[in-house]
Structure 1
Amino acid sequence: MANKPKILLVYTGGTIGMIKDYKTGALRAFDFNQIQEKIPELQHLDCDISTISFESPIDSSNMNPAYYVKIAEIIEENYINFDGFVVLTGSDTMSYTSSAISFMFENLQKPVIFTGSQLPIGDLRTDAKENLITSIEIACARVNNKPVIREVGLYFEYKLYRANRTTKINAEQFEAFASMNYPPLAESGVHLHFNHHLLFQNEAKENQLIFRKNLIDDIVILKLFPGITKKVVEAILNIDNLKGVILETYGSGNALTETWFINLLEEIIQKGVEVVNVTQCAGGSVILGLYETSTDLKRIGIINGRDITTETAVAKMMYLLGENLSQEDFKYYFEKPLRGEISSEI
């Protein structure tokens, strides 16, 4: 009989790690070392679960690249000894965090599943138990003694998504996340069903794992809106030490055609600042040159973000800026799928 899968549960903070004191009504931190006692259903999964918690759990609103590195280092330090990882973070920034982790591990051969909840684990109607139990089950899943999932996933409300394809869409419903441009990797119902043809195919060997932790965060998101002024755009593009801009445009990548706007973008691109065009739409893709309103952007050398999410564009930009690439190579790698985060052709 094969050995039981060993799963490491990493708790960073967030709603899922809170439990209600029913005498006082106050929320307090849950001790994940007692997880088997508090959630006895986990014993049916036939796996060994270990836990590591941040000494001071952080709210997801305070998440930043230093914490990304801390999460990644925990996984790196324990990578050989465990078969899968489940990371618990606050849901508000989970798409950003999980996307960043997907780029920080090159040649990943084991599952790293992010999850959380909308209600605390100790709440009567919590979604935390189902999300946690199924995430661990997904991390345990094997075929021919190999992990089914060999990428970074995000599991929430009966669906496993590729993490770097997700966006949080709802602050109140249990179905808090969506992946508008890529179908779920797995769906949990009566049975746990994996969509094997959608899974990330990584043929590298386990000992080829490369850990990338040099993230550059001198970037900004510039969201266009009707009536945006030259003064506002100038102020943003003239930020000291700015290295990258995520430009959120309309529809399929369209922007105002005012000469001042195009000139400002062209100037910073010529100075070496990377500018990526992503759509404000929840689904769909940037198609540069489809309309006249994006032909100038294409001409000045803006990077085509195609169907990447804003959250993942931020993570990918931080990662690629840290690789010290030429502007030409940066554009090439940004427009190329590296972890399944962007479609090859639209």
Structure 2
Amino acid sequence: MDHRILLITTGGTIGGKLAADQQDEQMIRSADQFAMLLGDTIAYLSKKYGLKIEIDTIELCDIDSSDINHEHWIQLAETIRDKYDEYESFIITHGTNTLGYTAAALSFAIANSSKPIILTGSQVPAGLPGTDGLANLQNALRVAIWRQDGQPIKGVVAVFGSHIIAGTRLKKDTEFGYDAFKSFKIGNIGQIGRIIDINENNLKKHVSYLRSGLYPEAKKAKDLHCEIDFDMRIASLTEFPGMRSEIFSILVEKHNIRGIILRAFGAGDPCTKHLEAFKYLKREKIPIVITTQAPNGNSNFQVNEPGKLLLENNLAIPAYDMSIESQTTKLAWLLAKVKKADLGYSELCREMVNDIRGEVKVLWEIGI
């Protein structure tokens, strides 16, 4: 049985994109070199599982992931869509700085893949002593061909260190350790070490988002449900004591900002002096998503008076437990629908708190 995999490279640490004085001629840089690194692993897995594993490569770009933007998300989604019928799995190598954003963006852009779309990278460049690049690539390959009862791990996931994480829950946790990413607010899909240990409940939930009343899981490209546009006219702000309210109107009127994310205090509790600014945003139909600065917090507008005022007057969108990566890419994805007149302001506000890809759990608190 043939199992064809498309390896798409974008640069990043795994591809040797470091500061000039940190680079080394031993680094692995090209997509073809990555494929060659996997030769022994491919031979072993082919024999073990009775597969004919073949890897083709595409170098989408070769940049530091801090320079990845929505145009690259679109190119990645288009490549997967265009090559969907030719391959059983897709592996993307990517820098760690923005890996969470790309994973979330692809999760929204490609709704119903029945095939694995796996992102990985490394903390130490491939080819250097101590690199985790080869191990992460090997583990991505293992996940790409993994089956349970004939079914793969479908949709967008990341394989990094010992973790297998859903695309909308990927969060970078450290700049140093090999387990650089964690699953934000929910458990992993699985762990990978000597074996692949899948959390069946988490996998079942992840897979459940790949089909809906509007579309089934796509076996063929013609059935793939892709919406790949993003409107990046977004401002992402962190509130601080004494922050001036005029910043919101200035961003809209002077810079044509169409959506705002605000990291407020507490459980989504911005200073009440901003209420008039929020009323202005509502009149102008500019959605504002309010999250919390607490690393493990939940923005729900149900705890303190500032948040409750927002809820009572329908002035903002609570982020609940969405990561900043999912908030940003989802808002940009929905704003693109508004721009095309496929969605209105009120519909966008509802969709931001609608769990469509496993990105949010709405928590409603009941008083004691």
Please report the TM-score for the alignment, with normalisation by the length of structure 1.
0.91
Does the CA-based 8 Å contact 1:8-1:86 persist in structure 2? Answer: yes
2:69 pairs with 1:53: no
Give CA deviations for 1:304-340 in whole Å, capped at 9, x if unaligned.
2110011110100111111121111111111111111
Provide the residue aligned with 1:186 in structure 2. Answer: 190
Please give the alpha-carbon distance, in whole angstroms, between the structure 1 residues aligned to 2:73 and 2:217: 24
Q: Could you say what secondary structure the match of 1:146 adopts?
A: coil
Does the CA-based 8 Å contact 1:7-1:140 persist in structure 2? Answer: no
Corresponding letter in the other structure for 2:286: V
Corresponding letter in the other structure for 1:311: E
Does the CA-based 8 Å contact 1:181-1:284 persist in structure 2? Answer: no
Provide the residue aligned with 2:331 in structure 1. Answer: 317
2:108 pairs with 1:109: no
Q: Could you say what secondary structure the match of 2:235 adopts?
A: strand
Task: Name which of structure 1's ranges 5-14 and 34-43 shifts more when overlaid on structure 2.
Answer: 34-43
**1:45-194 paired onto structure 2 within 5 Å:** 45-46=45-46, 47-54=53-60, 56-147=61-152, 149-194=153-198
Provide the residue aligned with 1:302 in structure 2. Answer: 316
Please give the alpha-carbon distance, in whole angstroms, between the structure 2 residues aligned to 1:239 and 1:271: 14
Provide the residue aligned with 1:31 in structure 2. Answer: 30
Work out which of the residue numbers 5, 13, 17 in structure 2 matches 1:15.
13
Work out which of the residue numbers 194, 200, 203 in structure 2 matches 1:196.
200
Give CA deviations for 1:134-156 in whole Å, capped at 9, x if unaligned.
11111111233332x12211121
Give CA deviations for 1:255-312 in whole Å, capped at 9, x if unaligned.
1112xx1101210121010111112222231121321121122224311211001111
Q: Could you say what secondary structure the match of 2:2 adopts?
A: coil
**1:262-273 paired onto structure 2 within 5 Å:** 262-273=275-286
Corresponding letter in the other structure for 1:198: N
* Change in 2 beyond 3 A, CA 1:315/1:145: same
Please give the alpha-carbon distance, in whole angstroms, between the structure 2 residues aligned to 1:19 and 1:94: 14
Please give the alpha-carbon distance, in whole angstroms, between the structure 2 residues aligned to 1:272 and 1:328: 8
Does the CA-based 8 Å contact 2:278-2:315 persist in structure 1? Answer: no
2:351 pairs with 1:333: yes
Give CA deviations for 1:38-82 in whole Å, capped at 9, x if unaligned.
34233222222221112x412111111111111111111111111
2:267 pairs with 1:252: yes
Task: Name which of structure 1's ranges 268-277 and 196-205 shifts more when overlaid on structure 2.
Answer: 196-205
Corresponding letter in the other structure for 1:217: M
* Change in 2 beyond 3 A, CA 1:36/1:103: closer
Please give the alpha-carbon distance, in whole angstroms, between the structure 1 residues aligned to 2:17 and 2:261: 38
Does the CA-based 8 Å contact 1:19-1:29 persist in structure 2? Answer: no
Corresponding letter in the other structure for 1:228: M
Work out which of the residue numbers 223, 237, 241 in structure 2 matches 1:226.
241
Please give the alpha-carbon distance, in whole angstroms, between the structure 2 residues aligned to 1:27 and 1:281: 41
Please give the alpha-carbon distance, in whole angstroms, between the structure 1 residues aligned to 2:83 and 2:59: 14
The alpha-carbon deviation at position 26 of structure 1 amounts to 4.2
The alpha-carbon deviation at position 110 of structure 1 amounts to 1.2
Q: Could you say what secondary structure the match of 1:134 adopts?
A: helix
Give CA deviations for 1:221-263 in whole Å, capped at 9, x if unaligned.
01112232335455445442211001111231111112xx110
The alpha-carbon deviation at position 342 of structure 1 amounts to 0.8
Corresponding letter in the other structure for 2:267: S
Does the CA-based 8 Å contact 2:28-2:126 persist in structure 1? Answer: no
Corresponding letter in the other structure for 1:332: R
Please give the alpha-carbon distance, in whole angstroms, between the structure 2 residues aligned to 1:37 and 1:88: 15
Q: Could you say what secondary structure the match of 1:12 adopts?
A: strand
- Runs (5+) with no aligned partner, structure 2: 47-52
Please report the TM-score for the alignment, with normalisation by the length of structure 2.
0.86
Task: Name which of structure 1's ranges 43-52 and 84-93 shifts more when overlaid on structure 2.
Answer: 43-52
Q: Could you say what secondary structure the match of 2:177 adopts?
A: coil
Task: Name which of structure 1's ranges 11-20 and 272-281 shifts more when overlaid on structure 2.
Answer: 11-20
* Change in 2 beyond 3 A, CA 1:300/1:192: same
2:295 pairs with 1:282: yes
Corresponding letter in the other structure for 1:7: I
Does the CA-based 8 Å contact 2:169-2:326 persist in structure 1? Answer: yes
Please give the alpha-carbon distance, in whole angstroms, between the structure 2 residues aligned to 1:209 and 1:341: 20
Please give the alpha-carbon distance, in whole angstroms, between the structure 2 residues aligned to 1:5 and 1:250: 50
The alpha-carbon deviation at position 19 of structure 1 amounts to 9.5
Give CA deviations for 1:67-109 in whole Å, capped at 9, x if unaligned.
1111111111111111111111111011011110110012221
* Change in 2 beyond 3 A, CA 1:42/1:225: farther
